[in-house]
Structure 1
Amino acid sequence: MATTSHPSTQPPRTAATGPSSRAGGVALMLGSGLSNQVGASLGALAFPVLGPAGVVAVRQWVAAVVLLTAGRPHIRSFTATQWRLVLALAAVFATMNLTLYLAIDRIGLGLAVTLEFLGPLTVALAGTRRRLDLFCALAAAAAVVVLTRPRPSTDYVGIALALVAAVCWGCYILLNRAVGHRLPGLQGSAAAAGVSGLLYLPIGITVLYLHPPTVTALLCALAAGVLSSAVPFLSDLLALRRVPARFFGVFMSVNPVFAALVGLLILHQHLDHLAWLAIAAIVAANAVAVGTGTRVAQRATDI
């Protein structure tokens, strides 16, 4: 995932406490977010040679190796119901990354990741009746209008692809929860990553055959897989042992800012002042919705 990283497991119920543990968790989350977006930017550098589909194929293969090694799923013991969830998760995972990378190629890293972030924001706001959440939804909607406002350079196909990625991310969160309830540990997510990697075998092989990669392009694609899959996955697991799940969810909101900064520094993709304000509004809406929503849920559980 080029987006911010998404832990594939249910977060631990408890986290280590203490200033040093919290500082270590913050450092891990910072590293995860920066690694994720730097990986996506390096993948974008390989687009002229491999195209978004080729880069995504390599990234999916790296993610499959990492998750299968960590999760070690017992696929022979999966029931039909479990397999249906795994296959659905694999399809969403594969579609999410492809549409996001296609969007990055057309509208840039910062804008694509920001629009994709509407997925988890929608999940956080779904079904709520709090006025604060309604305000968050309105703020995010206004920000989207600003980001997608008609201009001579507006790429509506790229915007549509980013919004498809957002829908996929929302489905990814919901399916991951369902898989986590049906299968222990990382087995469901690992199996889904493996299936997704298999789905990209014909695509990746075809791209590599028709467009023989240069060493630089292949290294960039591999770096995208490692930095946007392996590093965030391990960093997030370690971070969730040091900070509360609510704090982790709020901190994930900075990823669009990281994406915009990395896009500026590495890919030289410039955003205007209104775009920066819109990104800030979406980040703030997500942070408020996730942070306050988790606190309300926790109080209800305690009662």
Structure 2
Amino acid sequence: MHASSAPSPMSAQPVPAAPGPPAPGPEDGRATALLILLGSALSNQTGAAIGSLAFPVLGPLGVVAVRQYVAAIALFAVARPPLRSFTRHQWWPVLLLAVVFGTMNLSLYTAIDRIGLGLAVTLEFLGPLAVALSAARRRIDACCALVAAAGVVTLMRPQPSADYPGMGLGLLAALCWASYILLNRTVGRRVPGAQGSAAAAAVSALMFLPVGVVLALRNPPTPTAVGYAVAAGVLASAVPYLADMVTLRRVPAAAFGLFMSVNPVLAGLAGWVVLGQHLGAVEWAAVGAVVAANALSILTARR
């Protein structure tokens, strides 16, 4: 919230305006928002990669617990939900959202530990893609669904080193993300602003609090591991949330969805740079198929 400055007494006299740069137009604001959105996606995947560095000490469960704490602090600081005034009609979707939020992150990070960042995020991305395509009634959307399905079949093809439990966890994360989107719509209708999401993040953090205490007592974490986990929470939770608050007001929903589709690609790059995880040509083609299906559906819808 920006406070406006009061006019000074001298402002009553007409003064010639000094030449200066032109005021930024709506197109400049939209371009800035798109850059923020791209930086948010890169921050998200980089945070997940950095969090993976703490797996040997904290495990996926410990990293997710810390991430939930950071997300709750960030959301609460921004939204400040009046929890005592919530009604039962408001609380039940918030509680469901908290369970889905925690399950989504835990299944995703466990999948990252087993099958790598790029493949795990690609499988998780099927959740919002399925939500988008389920409401469509066009032939082009059916073709996009087939292209995405072909990419998934390619990723999950039988191989000697295939980790099917890890792939199953990636698909569970996709199911949770789809449920998260639908529940967020319900919460948004019943709780004003971001208060519902902040309340859900707080409940999810409370659910993981005993987990964090037990893990800390059984195997005291190193400062480095905790730092990696906190960085994951900041980069993969706080930064994307704040960026979304800015960009969703300036960027059309179609453009937002189109930029969201680069997440699997950025995840593959982050896994390669930060973790040394290499995808083969076939895996990159499968990732590209999932991304292309989403991009094609959005671009044709805009027309």
Q: Which runs of 5+ in 2 are unaligned?
A: 1-23
Distance 1:17 1:207, change over 3 A: farther
Bigger drift between 210-219 and 195-204 goes to: 210-219
Indicate the residue corresponding to 1:5 in structure 2: none
SS of the residue corresponding to residue 262 of structure 2 reads helix
Say whether 1:59 aligns with 2:67. yes
Asked whether the 8 Å contact 1:119–1:166 carries over to 2, the reply is: yes
Q: 1:183 aligns with which of 180, 188, 191?
A: 191
Indicate the residue corresponding to 2:9 in structure 1: none
Asked whether the 8 Å contact 1:33–1:252 carries over to 2, the reply is: yes
Indicate the residue corresponding to 1:263 in structure 2: 271
Indicate the residue corresponding to 1:30 in structure 2: 38
In structure 2, what is the Cα distance between the partners aligned to 1:77 and 1:162? 37
In structure 2, what is the Cα distance between the partners aligned to 1:157 and 1:290? 31
Structure 1 residue 17, shift from structure 2 partner: 5.8
SS of the residue corresponding to residue 275 of structure 2 reads coil
Amino acid in the other structure paired with 1:207: L
Structure 1 residue 72, shift from structure 2 partner: 1.0
Bigger CA radius of gyration: 2
Number of positions where the alignment pairs a residue of Structure 1 with one of Structure 2? 280
**1:1-303 matches, cutoff 5 A:** 18-293=26-301, 295=302
Q: Which runs of 5+ in 1 are unaligned?
A: 1-15, 297-303
Amino acid in the other structure paired with 2:262: V
Distance 1:267 1:191, change over 3 A: same
Cα root mean square deviation, aligned:
1.3
Bigger drift between 21-30 and 96-105 goes to: 21-30
Amino acid in the other structure paired with 1:220: Y
Listed one character per residue, the Cα deviations across residues 153-212 of structure 1 (whole Å, up to 9, x for unaligned) are 100000000000000000000000110011100111110000000000011111111121
Structure 1 residue 292, shift from structure 2 partner: 3.9
Structure 1 residue 64, shift from structure 2 partner: 0.4
Structure 1 residue 291, shift from structure 2 partner: 4.3
Q: TM-score, normalised by structure 1?
A: 0.90
Listed one character per residue, the Cα deviations across residues 15-40 of structure 1 (whole Å, up to 9, x for unaligned) are x9633212211210111011101100
Distance 1:188 1:292, change over 3 A: farther
Bigger drift between 243-252 and 134-143 goes to: 243-252
Amino acid in the other structure paired with 2:46: V
In structure 2, what is the Cα distance between the partners aligned to 1:17 and 1:212? 53
Structure 1 residue 68, shift from structure 2 partner: 1.0
In structure 1, what is the Cα distance between the partners aligned to 2:252 and 2:175? 26
Bigger drift between 125-134 and 155-164 goes to: 125-134
